[in-house]
Amino acid sequence: MVKYLTAISLFVFTFSIKAQNDKTILKNGIYENHGNISSYKNGKLHGKQIKEEGYSGKTETSYYNNGEILKKEYNYFLLDKNDKEYPLGTYKNGEPYQGYFPKDLKEILVVDYYENGKKKFQYSKENVFSYKNAILSVKSTYKEDQIYDGVCYELGRKYLIIDHLKKGELIKQVLWVFAVNYANAITIMYNENGFTITEKGELKFKIVRDKNKLSVLLDHKEVITSLQTGNVLKNKDVLFYEENGVLLKKLRDQAQMSPKEYETNIPSMLFDIYVELLYYKNHDINMVTIIKELQNSKDEDVFAEISYNNKGKPYRGILVSQKDKQYIGKVYKDGKLLKTLNNVSKDSLNTAYQKFLLTYLK
């Protein structure tokens, strides 16, 4: 029983405690618990402190003087496989000043290097998901507190974004998307004319933006293509939906599709990204935003749609407007106004739209 209690909590030296507001505060001495050591003097951290991560063996050793941190040592990463000593970081006035300081990215090991209180370099692993390799061989350079040349990371609850920069310019992004027992990666390569998007394990498909054209390619052949028309209604589809009783609409570029045997083979995530890009006038909305929208999206309750021709005139579908709390729907087919539905509900317009589609597609 004595040994059991000792293993749980061991007090070294003589110390005093003080009770305040039902809390016990250690004032002097050293307290050890499961490999973690806290040292106090006059109620403040003082001397050597050890924080150990039990399951991995990772240890950080900090040194304090009268409550102020002086330096920190680490046992779980090296910059080169031939290094004999682990890196350390020193503080000045409680702030990182010189040396190495891991960033708080949980599973992803990224370390900032400071010189005279300013970030100069960042170190990370070739494979950020590797738990075995603790050699930080990827070196990136800071400029004005931002990564200027190299790799930087953003870790969220459902995603990891890896940006590759060259002289301040973003040249590549890798977006890891996480779900239960699942991970997928989208890679975006940027160039002067646009970008190329590929999905992990599906390299025969890609999304390509080349100037004003956005396409899905299968083995270098266009499967779906769309020409950017700017912010006007030429060759646009307008989708109508409602929020809190207010009519709203979304514009997207029209896309032309190749034979149907290709359509069903497009990976779902790539297809979803392509569709999202059609809604933006420049096809170059931030890819990170798109991925986040796909993860958290709720589908708008679209109840009608109208397509415009290359002259910017209504061509096919139902053009919707709102008057008070009711709607007006103008039904177009091949550029001709067939009829007008006055003072109708959203549900009535949706029924009319579905009936129109069934008739039009015959």
What's the pLDDT tens digit per position in 196-223? 999 887 878 999 999 889 999 988 888 8
Which stretch, 134-148, 219-233, 342-356, has highest mean pLDDT?
134-148
Residue 344 has pLDDT above 80, yes or no: yes
Residues 68 and 17 in one domain: yes
* pLDDT at residue 35 in the model: 77
Least confident stretch, 1-15, 154-168, 305-319: 1-15
**Is residue 65 in a domain?**
yes
**Is residue 40 in a domain?**
yes
Q: What is the pLDDT of residues 317-342, one digit of tens each?
A: 999 999 888 899 999 999 999 999 99
Residues 129 and 167 in one domain: no
pLDDT band at 21 (very low <50, low <70, confident <90, very high): very low
Least confident stretch, 19-23, 57-61, 102-106, 304-308: 19-23
Residues 160 and 291 in one domain: yes
Residues 182 and 273 in one domain: yes
Domain range enclosing 104: 93-153
Q: What is the pLDDT of residues 240-281, one digit of tens each?
A: 998 888 899 888 888 877 765 555 577 778 888 888 888 876
* pLDDT at residue 260 in the model: 57
Residues 28 and 14 in one domain: yes
* pLDDT at residue 290 in the model: 79
**Structure-block tokens of residue 307:** 């397509």
Residues 143 and 160 in one domain: no
Residues 109 and 24 in one domain: no
**Is residue 186 in a domain?**
yes
Last residue of a domain, one of 120, 137, 153: 153
Residue 72 has pLDDT above 80, yes or no: yes
**Is residue 311 in a domain?**
no
How far apart, in Å, are the Cα atoms of 149 and each of 104, 117, 120, 163, 350? Answer: 21, 20, 11, 10, 52
Last residue of a domain, one of 240, 271, 295: 295
- As a whole number of angstroms, the distance between CA 82 and CA 316 comes to 69
| Strand-strand pairing, 336-344 and 326-333 | antiparallel
Where does residue 283 rank: exposed (0-12), middle (13-18), buried (19+ CB within 10 A)?
Answer: buried
**Is residue 312 in a domain?**
no
Residues 72 and 203 in one domain: no
Tally helices (H) and strands (E) across the chain.
5, 29
Residues 171 and 147 in one domain: no
**Is residue 197 in a domain?**
yes
Better-scored residue on pLDDT, 258 or 149: 149
Residues 162 and 141 in one domain: no
Question: Above pLDDT 90, what percent of the chain?
Answer: 36
* pLDDT at residue 276 in the model: 84
- As a whole number of angstroms, the distance between CA 222 and CA 353 comes to 31
- As a whole number of angstroms, the distance between CA 111 and CA 64 comes to 21
Last residue of a domain, one of 153, 176, 199: 153
Residues 197 and 285 in one domain: yes
The count of structural domains within the chain is 3
Average pLDDT (128-144) is 86
**Is residue 213 in a domain?**
yes
Closest to 176 measured CA to CA, from 155, 161, 193, 154: 161
**Is residue 319 in a domain?**
no
* Phi, psi dihedrals of residue 180, rounded to the nearest 5°: -65, 120
| Strand-strand pairing, 118-124 and 23-26 | unpaired
Residues 180 and 285 in one domain: yes
* pLDDT at residue 85 in the model: 86
Average pLDDT (52-78) is 88
* pLDDT at residue 84 in the model: 83
